[in-house]
Amino acid sequence: MTAVAVRTLLALAGGALFLDGAVLIVLGHFNLGTMLPVALGALFLAIAVWWSPLTRWRHHDRLRQQWWRVGWWGLAAWMLSVVVFWVFFLRGAGVSPPEAPPVQAIVVLGAGIQNGQPRPALAARLDTAAALARLQPQALIAVCGGQVWGTTDTEAEVMARYLQERHGIAPERLVLEKDSTSTELNLALSRPLLEARGVAATVPLALVTSDFHLPRALRIAQRHGFTHMVPVAAPTPLTTRYNAWLREYFATLSSWVLNEG
């Protein structure tokens, strides 16, 4: 491949990555899954713009040339590991509501609110939970999420309101866990609330979260004593799908390094 082709490819890939992350950040999705594409896109664009000076710089020193090659091989290896993670760890996780066996409760994990409404990923989780709740009218529904900075309502309250207004879920079926700020706390704090309603952690329960989030969430649930969790997958909106998958890659890697299950 010629230098012109490489430079053009870098510019196109860099521009696409930068715009993808920047647009989502402007829309309020500020996290590692959006910041990393912006940083990587900016790097690719910078290399494309300063290709000639960089070429002269690295050709003046053999060690620089070696480090240049190592850097590109390292980036290629990392990108391959991301693809392998997406294909073998995230695809096909969970079942749809009609496929779920009978459960005593449905646990819906939080995913962010904005202006008093669920973000698209959270709305998808709630819509999936509502579909399951219609099929299993005996099941309680635990909605999980504490107060978000800059808001007055907790995430659980917004989730409960959405289920009642959008799907007609009866208030007496809802269990609100209103103190958590992470998946870990979603599950840890919802357990005693369910037990207070007569639902033990050892009975069949449905865990509803985004498809990409299910493998890690299930490991956390098992660590908190939920022994019969049925994974029910909610679709991830296309606009944030690959950014969410990228964020989950690092979250899973962190959990492995820290031996968090």
Question: What is residue 31's predicted lDDT score, i.e. its pLDDT?
Answer: 67
Structure-token pair, residue 181 = 């700020």
pLDDT of residue 1: 64
**How distant is the alpha carbon of residue 157 from its chain centre?**
21
Residue 94's pLDDT is what?
Answer: 87
Buried b (16+ CB within 10 A) or exposed e, 134-151: eebeebbbbbbbbbbeee
Per CATH, the number for 97-257 is 3.40.50.620
Q: What's the pLDDT score for residue 245?
A: 81
Number of other CB atoms surrounding residue 203 within 10 Å: 14
CATH 3.40.50.620 range(s) for the chain read 97-257
Residue 40: per-residue pLDDT: 87
pLDDT score for 106: 97
Name the residue among 212, 257, 249 with its Cα closest to residue 78. Answer: 249
pLDDT digit string (tens) for the chain, length 261 residues: 677 888 888 888 888 888 878 887 886 767 677 788 888 889 989 988 998 888 888 887 888 888 888 888 988 898 888 888 777 776 667 899 999 999 999 999 998 888 889 999 999 999 999 999 999 999 999 999 998 776 788 999 999 999 999 999 999 999 999 998 888 899 999 999 999 999 999 999 999 999 888 988 998 999 999 999 999 999 988 877 787 788 788 877 776 765 554
Please give the full DSSP string across 166-186, using - where no structure is assigned.
HH---GGGEEEE-S--SHHHH
